[in-house]
Amino acid sequence: MAEGDARVRSSARAGFGRGFLTDIWYFVGLSADLRPGRIEGRELLGERVVVGRTRSGEAFALGDICPHRAALLSGGRLRAEADGAEALECPYHGWRFGIDGACRAIPSLASAGDLDIARIRVRRYPVAESQGMAFVWVAADPRSEVAPPEPPPRFEGVVGGAPKAVVGMDFEVHVDHACVMLVDPSHAPFVHAQWWWRSVGSQHLKSKRFAPVEAGFVMERHAPSRNSRPYALFGGAPMTEITFRLPGVRWEHVSVGARQLLSLAFLTPVSETRTRMTQIIWSDHPMAGLAAPFIRYGARRFLEQDRELCRLQAEGLKRNPAYLWIDDADRQARWYVALKREWGESRAERRPFVNPVEPTTLSWRS
């Protein structure tokens, strides 16, 4: 069995709380964060990755470990080659790698002889930029040179210029647990209870219509809950639609007449026990500009509360407990598990993905 096949099959067998989805786009930051001539080391799906942008403006992502003596390439620098191309120079012995991953130079070689240095490579991760955001494609086979078969997702509601808020925070749990929290409809009165949002005493019965969408599901457009006071800032009759899709993206699109607000959350796996949450909010509503400080405060406060909840959950997960999931309140969590399983199996079997979610109405109290 080829190494790539083994990795795909391993991904398909990964159960809840283990492994990562591959052959998919992951959010790595805003395009503005990737500055020309700058590089940054990251951890992504348990692997070291260096991301950056050449001085000519091309975003790139490479494996961060030099194949010579394992120094991190992110500790080096970008430099121009004789042909004008830019290469990443290792800080240990100066080996240089083009943004295609191929070795361009080994300064210590007296003579290359029969050595084709271009065959020495670090992994290249395809990068795409869309709507001011940067995404990295993680293939199941690390040796794959095949272009991604699809562009990264696009989102309705990226309006009003620069985001009104961008907040990032690490949660100390596997991405599966973070995804389940992201789609959980009933924790808000307990985790996020505060005077301007919700409380246990404000809970009431909700019934919402859901439908499958590409690699996920959507809570169809509806009037926001009465106990979600911040919606009142926008006046009129706001309507909201909430969507989730793999690998871990949730967005709420609010429309108030011709005006819009988009709250977009990305979960990016760092390691088996750490997940990066990034919340980005756009709006072209006049009130959003005035309320921007409040929006930033609210977004940060929400993430801090979720991070604390994940800390408590991580302690419990160390005991490897069983889970007790009930009906409608936990249906979205079970959908996520089914979506992840189907994604892995469809890749392993080299067949189209079949969304396991079916249209339905769910009811719960929150």
124-171 confidence digits (pLDDT tens): 999 999 999 999 999 999 988 889 999 999 999 999 999 999 999 999
Structure-token pair, residue 38: 């700058």
Taking only the tens place, the pLDDT of each residue in 284-335 is 988 888 888 888 988 899 999 999 999 999 999 999 998 888 889 999 999 9
Give the H or E element holding residue 186. Answer: none
- Closest of 207, 194, 183 to residue 330, by C-alpha: 183
Q: Helix, strand or coil for residue 245? A: strand
Structure-token pair, residue 174: 């596997």
**What CA–CA distances, in Å, run from 213 to 216, 239, 267?**
5, 19, 19
341 class by beta-carbon count within 10 Å (0-12 exposed, 13-18 middle, 19+ buried)? middle
Distance between CA 182 and CA 331 in Å, rounded? 13
Residues in contact with 237: Cβ distance below 8 Å, sequence separation at least 6, in sequence order? 223, 256
Taking only the tens place, the pLDDT of each residue in 227-236 is 455 566 666 6
Q: Of 112-121, 270-279, 332-341, where does mean pLDDT reach its minimum? A: 112-121
Distance between CA 177 and CA 17 in Å, rounded? 7
How would you classify the pairing of strands 124-125 and 59-63? antiparallel
- Closest of 255, 83, 90, 268 to residue 171, by C-alpha: 268
Taking only the tens place, the pLDDT of each residue in 16-75 is 999 999 999 999 999 999 999 999 999 999 999 999 999 999 999 999 999 999 999 999
Note the pLDDT of residue 1.
Answer: 32
Neighbours of 2 (CB within 10 A): 9
Q: Looking at the whole model, is its pTM more than 0.85?
A: yes
* pLDDT surpassing 80 at residue 6: no
Distance between CA 88 and CA 19 in Å, rounded? 30
Give the H or E element holding residue 256. Answer: strand 249-256
Neighbours of 31 (CB within 10 A): 14
Structure-token pair, residue 59: 């975003």
- Closest of 303, 253, 24, 269 to residue 153, by C-alpha: 24
Please give the radius of gyration of the chain, using alpha carbons only, rounded to the nearest integer: 22
